[in-house]
Structure 1
Amino acid sequence: MATALEAKKRENKQRSELKNLRDLGNIPAVIYGYKAENTPIYVSEADFLKVIRETGRNGVISLNVDGDKRNVILNAYQEDSIKKDIIHIDFLAVDMEAEIEANVRVELVGECQGVKDGGVLQQPVHELSVLAKPNELPESIQVDVSNLQVGDTISVADIKGTFSYQITQEDELTIASVLAPRQEEEISTGEEQEPGIPDNLEGRETTAEKESE
């Protein structure tokens, strides 16, 4: 069952009005997609963050726009570059019976044997694209690295077919590898860093650069 979130239409699209909305604790947004016209809306920041903590980044939300309810997922968001506050949201209306493609966070789990032997675990990929029905989208893709030895890698091909959803990226894409310490020192130009995630989303993931206003 989708978690409910209240929203209201935005009639005034001027930038001054957007600032007023944010000052009052709201987030400007837009809804589009399945049987939905591109509609400017806004939601309470506190309510939105509560819903995301309950449903996860890919959870289905029952968005009630002035009495018109739609099943949506959080398609994208924009954050303030300094404060890291969420300043705009894109909600995608979905058909619950149709598969959609979405990016899902990759989580490495287990105590890697290669690291115990002195190797360095690398994770070049932090998200994978999957195809699934909206209510079957996972919050994360857990990849077990327990048996990885120094010099070993895990690619998309190694985990395809182990989940109920389809991973759409190429089989050769490396998800994790264990490098020997000297090799790590030679190729490293700085610490690998996961793409920035707003702390207030607590878990996921993609930062959208666009803003539909």
Structure 2
Amino acid sequence: MQKMTLKVDERTKNTKREVGRMRRTGKIPAIVYGQSKNFSIAVDEYEFNTKFKVISENIIITLKIGNMDVDVLVKDYQESLLKNRIEHLDFYAIDPNKALRTHVPIHLTGSAIGQREGGILEHLLHEVEVECLAKNLPENIIIDVSNLAIHDSVHVRELPALEGVKFITSSDNVVCHVVTKAAEIEEKPAEEAVVEGGEAAEGGEAAETTEEGAAASKAGAKAAPKAAPKGKEEK
């Protein structure tokens, strides 16, 4: 179980103007819920970014608010891609004696046999939902893919059993598998070939008809009598 601490300040003003002032002074507005009473806090932006390079739901954070310590999980956050900063945080207060549900990341290790045979290893499921007490919350789940051949796969039901941890994600979900490289077909589709062949045949018939018409016209021209010269009467 991974655990970290954050020193935060409780805030009483939640106006838009106050929130804007907080952000300008390097604070992240946040809320803590899950207890009998929700309350708002301000988190130091520099400290949070330094300690949490990656935001994950499975890290237990102890918030130090004055003389009070509250264990929480990050349940949600709002990020401004334009400003490249966290705009708001939602913390969920946990009870150490009650089971909680959260998501745990899945990491792959090793080089699959199928990769050496020309296959591609695809990691499809990057996290799994679990239910457990806070003390049993795993930091991550590691899968060794070394023995995976082409067409082999790992399902949620095949994940290693962890004491006190129940997997909520469907057991039939595929975590990863090794597949063959898709072959590129450069030949034209059969239908296209048929259409082109039909067009060629029609073109050939048209050409033959034209040639026949030209021959008939030529023959007719030869059979026609010559016109009498002007100024002379026919006898």
Q: TM-score, normalised by structure 1?
A: 0.77
- 1:104-115 correspondence to structure 2 within 5 Å: 104-115=104-115
- For the pair 1:122 / 2:134, whether they are aligned, the reply is no
- For the pair 1:182 / 2:182, whether they are aligned, the reply is yes
Distance in 1 between residues matched to 2:96 and 2:106, nearest whole Å = 24
Q: Which runs of 5+ in 1 are unaligned?
A: 187-213
Q: What is aligned with 1:149?
A: 149
* More deviation, 142-151/82-91: 82-91
Cα deviation digits, residues 174-207 of structure 1 (max 9, x gap): 0001111127x79xxxxxxxxxxxxxxxxxxxxx
Q: Given the superposition, is the C-alpha separation of residues 2 and 139 from structure 1 closer, same or farther in structure 2, using an over 3 Å criterion?
A: closer
Distance in 2 between residues matched to 1:68 and 1:78, nearest whole Å = 26
Q: Secondary structure at the match of 1:58?
A: coil
Q: What is aligned with 1:39?
A: 39
- Displacement, 1:44? 0.6
Q: What is aligned with 2:78?
A: 78
Q: Secondary structure at the match of 1:181?
A: coil
Alpha-carbon contact 2:55-2:74 (below 8 Å) kept: no
Distance in 1 between residues matched to 2:71 and 2:24, nearest whole Å = 28
Structure 2 residue identity aligned to 1:47 = E
Q: Given the superposition, is the C-alpha separation of residues 124 and 4 from structure 1 closer, same or farther in structure 2, using an over 3 Å criterion?
A: closer
Alpha-carbon contact 1:57-1:139 (below 8 Å) kept: no
Distance in 2 between residues matched to 1:87 and 1:108, nearest whole Å = 32
Distance in 1 between residues matched to 2:110 and 2:76, nearest whole Å = 30
Structure 1 residue identity aligned to 2:17 = S
Max Rg structure = 2
Q: Secondary structure at the match of 1:37?
A: coil
Q: Secondary structure at the match of 1:129?
A: strand
- Displacement, 1:2? 5.1
- Displacement, 1:101? 0.7
Higher relative contact order (CA 8 A, sep 6+): 1
Q: Secondary structure at the match of 2:182?
A: helix
Distance in 2 between residues matched to 1:79 and 1:145, nearest whole Å = 34
- Displacement, 1:74? 1.7
Alpha-carbon contact 2:56-2:74 (below 8 Å) kept: no
* More deviation, 169-178/135-144: 135-144
Distance in 1 between residues matched to 2:77 and 2:141, nearest whole Å = 21
**Percentage of identical aligned residues:** 28
Q: What is aligned with 1:48?
A: 48
Q: What is aligned with 2:101?
A: 101
Distance in 2 between residues matched to 1:109 and 1:14, nearest whole Å = 48
Please tell me the root mean square deviation across aligned C-alpha atoms, in Å. Answer: 2.4
Q: TM-score, normalised by structure 2?
A: 0.70
Cα deviation digits, residues 95-121 of structure 1 (max 9, x gap): 112211101111111111111110011
Cα deviation digits, residues 96-152 of structure 1 (max 9, x gap): 122111011111111111111100111121111011212322222111111111111
Distance in 2 between residues matched to 1:167 and 1:113, nearest whole Å = 28
Distance in 2 between residues matched to 1:110 and 1:147, nearest whole Å = 9
Alpha-carbon contact 2:104-2:138 (below 8 Å) kept: yes
Aligned length: 183
- Displacement, 1:63? 1.1
Alpha-carbon contact 1:101-1:131 (below 8 Å) kept: yes
Q: Given the superposition, is the C-alpha separation of residues 36 and 8 from structure 1 closer, same or farther in structure 2, using an over 3 Å criterion?
A: farther
